[in-house]
A and B are shown apart, each in its own frame.
Chain A
Amino acid sequence: MEKSPIIKIENLVKKFPMGKSEFTALNGIGLTLNQGEFAGLVGPSGSGKTTLLNIIGSLDVPSSGEVTVLNHSISNLSTREAARLRKENLGFIFQSYNLFAVHTVFENVEFPLLLLNYSFQDRRRMVLEALEWVGLTDKIRSKPPQLSGGECQRVAIARAMVKKPNLVLADEPTANLDAANSHHILETMENLNRELKTTFLFATHDDKVIRYLRRKVSLADGKVIDDIVIAN
């Protein structure tokens, strides 16, 4: 069965102004990612991983080239349309978790559902389900400062997954975690990928993450230098 492309990138260039000159962060990137993949953008710091992830996440726009995510051309999206794409179809996981510190675990995971206007009953059911995926149903009333780093990242995963998005973008999700916690959350994400067919795209240079990837796209100096599909 032919898999449908969820991300299609053609000749992507991203430049940032740097004083009077420009810095080219991405230089002619071409990439296609299909639904259900568990892939990673791999490379050293400054290779353009996060910039590419931000553009795919419609948080930034290309300088030139074409980026299509779920049939939406990122360059042509208005601010409102981009927000809608993120709200309905994308999940984000960040290196430093980016949880709302004053909200409880339940409220943090509930947030994307509030934006989508789900009823309270549906929200409650979906949040509890998501917390069960990550094994945090006993921490429902806790606030992020009361949790460990691993628990915080699991809450972040639950928040990204609760609306069952088509695509989850994870930027260095294990950078602040020890080995045991890293494996735990990676196993969680791998399970969710298999069970829900959610596409995961990582930006990482962590070997612990790379070992879990089924596709590795290597970047260096803003270019794709390698694209390897790893057999299970």
Chain B
Amino acid sequence: MKLAVKLAIRNLLGAGIRTWLNVIVLSFSFVIIIWVKGVMVGWDHQSKTDMKNWEIGNGQYWISSYDPYDPFTLTDSHGPVPPEFADEIKQGEMEPFLISQGTIYPQGRIQPIRLKGINPGQKIFLLPSQKLDTAVTDAIPSFIGATMAKNTGLKKGDRMTVQWRDKNGAFDAADILITEIFSVSVPAVDNGQIYIPLEKLQSMLGLPGEATLLTYSDPDMIRPDVTGWTHKSFSELTVQVDELIKMKSSGQSVLYMVLLLLAMLAIFDTQVLSIFRRQKEIGTYVALGYTRQQVVGLFTVEGTMYAVLAALLSAAYGIPLLAWQAKTGWTMPMDTSEFGLAIAQTLYPVYTLGLVISTVTLVTLTTCVVSYWPSRRIAKMNPTEALRGKIQ
């Protein structure tokens, strides 16, 4: 094996431009596969971090009837905050949210929205809830996301009438004042959402001390089961992101399979050509004391060495390139706020050691198989005919 590696290196380096063309093609595959996968890991990391910071904390309790995808459940999706969580809420490690349906009329159009009651002093989310703590008396202080502001034409300082139904179904209306507009990559926090003080919303709905969901910051605390409330762990709340990224990764896999296929095609072609062109050399190896199987081994190692050289070349230009990408990120050419996904405008690829090792292993093993495949032909060669270069 050691000898095969030594000879393979000599043969490859001696072959000059042919070797380097294959190595360059293969190294592109290495770098692009790692970059694409890195973007996926970065997206996963970023979307979960953003969801944690802006929407779900480290887990939630939902009132049992709450279904975020069914607005008709919202009317009944509220209940008294369980006394079991009173201490945690007092310490600011759990925050109640009350959610209700409402309607606004931007530029004369009717638009359903969700009114979300949030504690102005909360510390769990990055939402600018402190902006709700104002002395305004003739309007309800509120803040909205940038996409919502764009869609409704609302700006900071604007007023807008909001209509809602209280717990008895009676319609009521009041003015809201936009005190802040925030930017976020999590659509569920932005699109169609208006944030107002929790106590104000409880009072508007006639539901004092009630909430729709509770978000906690400490994932390790052991909490009792509470009747009427359903616990949703962080992983349960992010399952859709996982599925989405899995689906996207499968799509991206097609891209790097094509890249890998092109690189493998180049290597397969080189191997087939080598075996035909290097018949005399093969015969000479046998005449000098190699068995045909050893020559098969040599050619397989030679083919596999393309992957090793490609990995080294990739490291030379790929490490600085990928490190630069991880630092500056990849800014998407179109506006991502309307994608409906938790996706930032700029994605920062994350490269793990496992990602690099798995990619290098995958490419090297594939190269090894592709190199071995045509090399098997050598085992069937008649050495005397190979020596004369007479095999067709």
Contact = CB atoms under 8 A, between A and B. Distances in A.
A59 interface: yes
Given A94-B387, A103-B14, A80 B291 contact: yes
B289 A84 contact: yes
Interface string A68-110: 0000000000011001101110001010101011110001000
B15 interface: yes
A60 interface: yes
A83 B284 CA distance: 12
B298 to A, nearest CB: 11
A46 to B, nearest CB: 14
Given A50-B384, A87-B289, A159-B288, 18 more contacts: A59-B286, A60-B384, A79-B291, A83-B286, A83-B289, A83-B294, A86-B287, A86-B289, A92-B287, A94-B287, A101-B14, A102-B10, A102-B11, A102-B14, A102-B15, A103-B10, A114-B6, A143-B14
Interface residues on A, range: 20 to 34
14 contacts: A50-B384, A59-B387, A60-B383, A83-B290, A86-B287, A87-B288, A88-B289, A98-B281, A100-B281, A101-B14, A103-B11, A103-B14, A115-B3, A115-B290
A86 B10 contact: no
Size class of the contact patch on chain B: 20 to 34
* Chain A at the B interface: SS class: helix
B287 A59 contact: yes
A212 interface: no
Contacts of A159: 288
Contact of B280 (A87, A98, A102): A98
B281 A112 contact: no
Contacts of A50: 384
A83 B7 CA distance: 18
B292 interface: yes
B374 interface: no
B387 A98 contact: yes
Contacts of A150: none
Q: Which of A50, A80, A84, A114 has the most CB of B within 10 A?
A: A114
Contacts of A88: 289
B283 interface: yes
A111 interface: yes
